[in-house]
Structure 1
Amino acid sequence: MTILRSAGRRALTLVSVVVIAGGATVAMSAGAGPAMAARVTATCANDNGDAAVIQSVIDGSAVGDEIVIDGPCTIISTIKLLGNRAYRGDSPSTVLKEGDGRNLDAVLASDSWVDDHAWAGEPITLRDLTIDANAANNPTGGDAVVIRSWRSTIEALHIRNAKANGLRVTNTSRNGTTLTNTLVNGSIRALFVEGSGQRGIYVQDSGNAVTDWNLTDSWVADSGGDAIKLDNAAGWTIERNHVYGVGGTGINASRLFATSVSDNYVEDFDTHGIGVSVQGDAASTIVGNRVFQFSGAGTTYLAIRHVNYGTGHVSVTGNVVRGNGSGVGLSYQRGSNQLAVVSTGNAVTGVTTPLDKGTDVTMTAGF
């Protein structure tokens, strides 16, 4: 496909070119000033050629471009997202649906993951799309979206029917290569993830790479396992999320380190409502969450499971637990290390044991 651009991307007059090739409509413009980004549109035909059309437009784009996808689209191969670009649907209801019998590892994925680099991909913005991984017709399929690009923004996606995870942010590539640098400073917001076979949103980190992100204002429904799982929650802000119909733990956050888990609504879970482990250095907060059980089977609503090393410090304040007649409301356990908890203002009803404080856990009401 030939893509036409103004010379040097520094034209002083507006240039607009439309190239139609292989079923794709590619619209680009460059305005006054230096290095103006282009807007590139890939138009799908809702057939097996759509993945190639989208990938061709992405591969022909330049740093700073916005790729707009006009669907519906049938995806038969993983779409590789190049860094330093923005991706969005023509509208939030633009659907990218995995084709029957494709069993893809991912529908959309960062270039760093696809190409098995040892370093994180450059930033991307991904928004306003519906991604349907079509698990019913892909019984050995994988994830819907895999992100391995630092300082990225993932927002306003509707992700559904992934056989494995709806969204996975990972330090590991497709073939298992782990990052030698970091994958930090990203934002995930306003997602609706439903019907994932494993986890709705999964932060996978076998090292200490995927830290200091924000996960906010999202909904996760009907996941086979945990709704939200973080292998490494260091520096994360996890707030104002609503998870329900959870096959595992509602919010499962390991390695809290200067972490905030606040103002989330968890209902109907099969393990823990909120379950965390804690690092022994910086303190963390668990504040203002609502954890309710209407029809789930889980029996521990808010649990500090253990401290990984040293002395963990956590403030647990202003949470509301409402059970269905059994279980433990608040559980504070230290494991083989030490735990100091400020616990105050929590309302716990409808459980058998409001508080289970482990042996030698230090608990105060603070100041």
Structure 2
Amino acid sequence: MAARATATCANNNGDAATIQSVIDNSADGDEIVIDGPCTIISTITLLGNRTYRGDSPSTLLKEGDGRNLAAVLASDSWAGNYAFAGEPIVLRDLTIDGNAANNPTGGDGVVLRSWRSTVEGLYIQNAKANGLRITNTSRNGTTLTNTLVNGSVRGLFVEDSGQHGIYVQDSGNTVTDWNLTDNWVAASGGDAIKLENAAGWTVERNHVYGVGGTGINAGRLFATSVSDNYVEDFATNGIGVTVQGDAASTLMGNRVFQFSGTGTTYLAVKQVNYGTGNVAVTGNVVRGNGSGVGLSYQRGANQLTVASSGNAVSGVTTQRAVGTGVNLSAGL
């Protein structure tokens, strides 16, 4: 029978061991409740088939000064360098502070390598590297031999990450078919949301702003939806994607604005990686600050078909740039 166990922190250097002991002595199906504030001096390893939550959403896990951890929280599959994905976890209602100012070589807030998992309601701040990283690679570089699919990330607020706010790292074709919805990402040094592999992903209703790279950077679109997102103030692209052949994807109903950023291409299909890419770009709104390209459709060395309709573009130098050989239509 599933049980609930509470890890009560004392806001001192013993807190990480306290939390880990409760986790290690739990069983499949258990719920681990963390009562903070907690000082974290070693990475907390999350075992699969468990729920982890704070006593309240403001329950604080803060990395201790000078610890320079690779992650504050991480899946057992990542920490143990397994060749297979971890079992599902639920992680919710916590505040995670990477304390980058006092950890100059620190890492990520959360590293997830567990399939069919749910991450929700986290506030992640001050990670030296990435706020949340979902990855096919373990701590020592071992890559997965199976898949990491069917997860959900929702309701996160991620700010002040040194690299990316939410980062999907996939050197193979492993991390597919997730939902990334209803998140806020602010003030990342790199991209707000970066997906090396967006195949099968639904990326919807996210608000990203004030980032040093691209707002939403999605690679390898394959049956992907990037829809109803609000992007403002970026340094490269508002939304930038690359496309796979075979399946088709949608870029629909996004709002991309530039008030104080320096990026010059607001919504960009940058290239097709193989075969013929098919994308519907519909009902997006772009508002610039007087320069740049609103919509850019480029095919690279392969073929691209774009159904582009109902987009409203203003405040830019070039409303739409279409590369040579791109098949452009208004759709049906």
Cα offset for 1:94? 0.1
CA distance in 1, matches of 2:257, 2:140: 40
CA distance in 2, matches of 1:120, 1:295: 41
- AA matched with 2:323: G
Higher relative contact order (CA 8 A, sep 6+): 2
Q: What is the aligned counterpart of 1:47 among 1, 4, 12?
A: 12
**Which digits, 9 at most, give the CA deviation of each residue in 1:168-226, with x for residues without a partner?**
00000000000000000000000000000000000000000000000000000000000
- AA matched with 1:353: T
Where does residue 145 of structure 1 map in the other structure?
110
Where does residue 3 of structure 1 map in the other structure?
none
Q: What is the aligned counterpart of 2:321 among 339, 349, 356?
A: 356
Where does residue 224 of structure 1 map in the other structure?
189
- AA matched with 2:62: K
2:155 paired with 1:190 = yes
CA distance in 2, matches of 1:242, 1:226: 13
Where does residue 254 of structure 1 map in the other structure?
219
Where does residue 267 of structure 2 map in the other structure?
302
2:317 paired with 1:338 = no
Where does residue 165 of structure 1 map in the other structure?
130
Where does residue 95 of structure 1 map in the other structure?
60
Where does residue 81 of structure 1 map in the other structure?
46
CA distance in 2, matches of 1:244, 1:349: 19
Number of equivalenced pairs: 332
Where does residue 71 of structure 2 map in the other structure?
106
Where does residue 288 of structure 1 map in the other structure?
253
Cα offset for 1:89? 0.1
CA distance in 2, matches of 1:71, 1:169: 25
Cα offset for 1:267? 0.1
- AA matched with 2:225: S
TM-score, normalised by the number of residues in structure 2? 1.00
2:175 paired with 1:240 = no
3-state SS in 2 of match to 1:136: helix
Where does residue 21 of structure 1 map in the other structure?
none
Cα offset for 1:115? 0.3
Where does residue 279 of structure 2 map in the other structure?
314
- AA matched with 1:298: G
Cα offset for 1:264? 0.1
3-state SS in 1 of match to 2:266: strand
For structure 1, the residue ranges without an aligned partner over 5 or more in a row are 1-35
Q: What is the aligned counterpart of 1:207 among 172, 180, 187?
A: 172
2:85 paired with 1:120 = yes
**Which digits, 9 at most, give the CA deviation of each residue in 1:144-187, with x for residues without a partner?**
00000000000000000000000000000000000000000000
Q: Deviation above 3 Å: which 4+ runs of structure 1? A: none
CA distance in 2, matches of 1:182, 1:240: 26
Q: CA RMSD in A?
A: 0.2
CA distance in 2, matches of 1:354, 1:366: 19
CA distance in 1, matches of 2:37, 2:66: 18
**Which digits, 9 at most, give the CA deviation of each residue in 1:309-357, with x for residues without a partner?**
0000000000000000000000000000000000000000000000000
Cα offset for 1:90? 0.1
CA distance in 2, matches of 1:311, 1:213: 24
Q: What is the aligned counterpart of 2:30 among 65, 72, 76?
A: 65
**Which digits, 9 at most, give the CA deviation of each residue in 1:274-314, with x for residues without a partner?**
00000001000000000000000000000000000000000
Where does residue 28 of structure 1 map in the other structure?
none
Larger radius of gyration: 1
3-state SS in 2 of match to 1:274: strand
CA distance in 2, matches of 1:184, 1:210: 6
Where does residue 278 of structure 1 map in the other structure?
243
Cα offset for 1:142? 0.4
TM-score, normalised by the number of residues in structure 1? 0.90
Where does residue 22 of structure 1 map in the other structure?
none
How high is the sequence identity, in percent, across the aligned residues? 83
CA distance in 2, matches of 1:221, 1:250: 9
3-state SS in 2 of match to 1:77: coil
CA distance in 2, matches of 1:366, 1:277: 20
3-state SS in 2 of match to 1:131: strand
- AA matched with 1:139: P
